[in-house]
Structure 1
C-alpha cells in the first residue's frame, strides 16, 4: 500500500482552522518589519560605487540575508507564547552592530522591532533612543555634516517607530483574537453547564416531593406494621403507586429533553460547519416526519457533524433528507462506524435498528464519505 502524501501548502490552507488562518496572516504581515532591512542592499550598492571593496560588500550582503532570516523568528516565538529567545536576539543584535559598521544602519530598526515583544516599553524606548544617539555621535565624529546627521536621526526614528509599532500592534491583535476564541469556547461550555443545571433543577422538582412522600408513607407503614398489618399494607400499596407515578414523570421529562427539533439542528450544524470553513449544503424535506423520526435523524446529524469536525479534513459537506432517509456526505476521510462505538455512530446504528431503521457509513468510490440513515417515515 502506497503511503499517503503529506498535504501541500494549498491542502494545509484549506484544512486549517479559522484561528490558524488568522495566526498565519498576523505572523506573515509582521515579516514586513525584517524586510525593511532590504534597504541596506541599496546602501551597499552606493558604497561600492564610492569605492568599497566588492568582497566586503558581498560579505555584508550575506550577513544582511542571515540577519533578515533570524529576524523572522522572534515574533513567531512571541505568538506561541514561548520564553524570550535570548540567544537569537543576541546573535541578530551582534549582526546588526556589524552591519552598522558597514553603514547598513537599516538593520538597527529591525532589531529593535524584534526585541519589542520581550522587553518593557520603557526599555524599548531607552534602547531605541540610545542606539540612535550613539549612531549620531559616531557619524559626527566621522566628519558628517549636521544636516546629514539630523536627516539620518529623523529617518531612523521614523523607522524604529514603524518597526516597533508594527510588531506591537500585530502581537496585540493576535492576543485579542485568542481572547475572543477562548471567550467563544467559554460561552459554549457555559451553555452546556446551564442546560445541565436546568435539567438538575427539573429533576429535583419532580423527585423531591415524591421521594419525601415515599419516605413518609414508608415510615408510617413501619409504625402500623405490628398494630395494623392491613393499614400497613395499604400504605405500601400507596408507596408503590406513588413510585410508579414518579417514574412515569421522570420518563416523560427525559423524553422531552431527548426530543430534538430537527430544523434547529440542521440550522445549527450548518452554522458550525461554515464557521469551521466547511462549505455546507442542506436540502431537507422534514414536514411529513414524525417527532420520533425527527429526533432520531437530528441525533444522527449531530453525531455526523462531530465526526466531520473531529475525524476528517473536509472542505465541503452535503446534507439531504427525503422520505425519512438522511444522507450526509463530505470530501474528507472518516473511519468506519465501529471506530467510535459505543457512544458514536455504532451506538446510533443500534438505536436505528431498534426503531426499524438502518445506518451505514463508508467511503464512496468518488472519494467522499457517506453517512446514510433510513428511518421509517
Structure 2
C-alpha cells in the first residue's frame, strides 16, 4: 500500500464505491422522453448522490449528534421522493429504477441511525408499493428490491463503518499519545530550567551583591568576584541549552561538590556526610535535584550560618539553621519537587524542626 494512503481513506473509498452503484441502475432502467428532461433527471440523481454522501458521512463520524443524523436522513428521503414520479413514469417496461434508489437510500439511513433508518426503509418500501400500483408494476418485486438492497448494503456497510470508527479511535489515541509526550517534554524542560536557573541565578545575585560591597574596600577581590560571575553566567547559559535538548546529567556527587562550593562562597559553614558512589543513577539524579533546590532556597530565603547534608539509607536530610526565613512546602519549587519524588516512589517533607532549624527530608522507597 502506498505510504500516502491512510487505512481510513482506503476503507472510505470502498464504502463510497459500494454506494456509487446507485447511479448505474436508475440511468440504465429509465428513458426520459426528451433531452431536456434527461438533463433534469440527471441533475436529480446527482443531488441524490450528494444527499447520500452526507448521510454516509454522518454514519462514519464519531462526533455527529443525533439531530444532524436525522436531518441528513430527512434530506435524502426528500430527494428520493422527488424522483419518485419521474423514475416510475419513465421506467423501462418491467423495470424498477425507483426501487433501487429507495433501497440505497434506506441502506445509508440505517447505517447513520438504525432506528430512523428502519422507519425510512419501511416508508420507502410503502412508497414503492404505491408506485407499483399506480404505474402498473409488480408490487412484490418493488418492495423486495427496496428491502433487499437496504439489507444488503446495511450488512456490507456495517463492517466498513465499524472499521472506520475503529481506525478513527486509533488515530485519536495516537494523537492523544503525541500530545501527552509533548506535555511531558515541556514539563521536563520546565523542571530542568527551574533547577538550573534557580540555582545559578541565586549564586550570581549573591556574588553580584558581594562584588558591589567590595568595589571600594577591596577592588581586587571585587574584580575576582566579577570574573566568577561572568564564568557562572556562561556556565548557566550552557546548562540551560543542555536542559532544553535533554542533555543534562546531574548526579548527586557533582551536586554535593557544587553545594559545598556555593555555600562556602556565601560564608555558610557546610557539613556533608553522604556516600553517593553506591546509589543507582536514577536515585542519584533525584537526590541531586533535591540538594540543588534546597541549596537554592537557603541562598534565597534564609539567613543560615550552617548547613548539614547527610544520607543514611533510605533518608537524605538537608538541615539549615535559618528556619525563620525559610519557605515551606507552599513554594512552587519544593511542591513540584515533592510531586517528582512521589512519581519515583519517594517522599519529600520540608518544614521547621526543633532548634530553629529548617529541614528538607527525602525518604526513598525501601
Normalised by the size of structure 2, how large is the TM-score? 0.44
Normalised by the size of structure 1, how large is the TM-score? 0.43
Larger-gyration structure (1/2): 2
